[in-house]
Amino acid sequence: MLSREFLIKRGYCCGLGCLMCPYKPKHTEGNTNLMGDSYGAAKELEKKILIVCALEIETQGQLDDYEVLYTGVGKVNATFELTRKFGKYGSYIPYDMVINYGTAGSRKIKKKTLVDCTKFIQRDMDVTGLGFMRGETPFEQDPPFVIQQQNVEFNPIGRNATCGSGDNFAEDKSQYYGEVVDMEAYALAKVCYLYDIPFISFKYITDGADEQAHEDWEANLADGIEVFKEKILKELK
Amino acid at 57: I
Bridge partners, 105 (sequence order) = 181, 207
pLDDT value of residue 9:
67
Q: Note the pLDDT tens digit of each residue in 89-133.
A: 887 788 989 999 999 999 889 999 999 999 999 988 888 888 888
Q: How many CB atoms lie within 10 A of CB 142?
A: 6
What integer pLDDT is reported at residue 42 of this predicted model? Answer: 46
pLDDT value for 98: 95
DSSP 3-state percent helix, strand, coil across the chain (nearest 5) = 30, 20, 50
Q: What is the pLDDT of residue 39?
A: 46
DSSP secondary-structure letter at 12?
S
Question: What's residue 172's pLDDT?
Answer: 59
Ranges in the chain, pLDDT < 70: 1-7, 9-10, 20, 35-47, 158, 170-177, 237
DSSP 128: G
Residue 3: the pLDDT is 61
Phi-psi region of 205 (alpha: psi -120 to 50; beta: other; left: phi over 0): beta
Domain boundaries, the chain: 1-45, 46-236
Specify which residues 99 forms β-bridges with.
51, 200
**SS3 assignment for 148-183:** ECCCCCCCCCCCCEEEEECCCCCCCHHHCCCCEEEC
What is d(CA 31, CA 148) in angstroms, rounded to the nearest whole number? Answer: 33
Helices (H), the chain: 4-10, 36-44, 75-87, 185-195, 213-228, 234-236
Nearby residues of 147 by Cβ (< 8 Å), 6 or more positions away: 119, 120, 121, 186, 189, 190, 193
Which CATH fold would you assign to the domain 46-236?
Rossmann fold (3.40.50)
With H, G, I as helix, E, B as strand and everything else as coil, classify residue 193. Answer: helix
Pick from 51, 63, 36, 50: which is nearest to 89 by CA?
Answer: 50
What is the pTM for the complete model shown? 0.75
pLDDT (0 to 100) of residue 68: 95
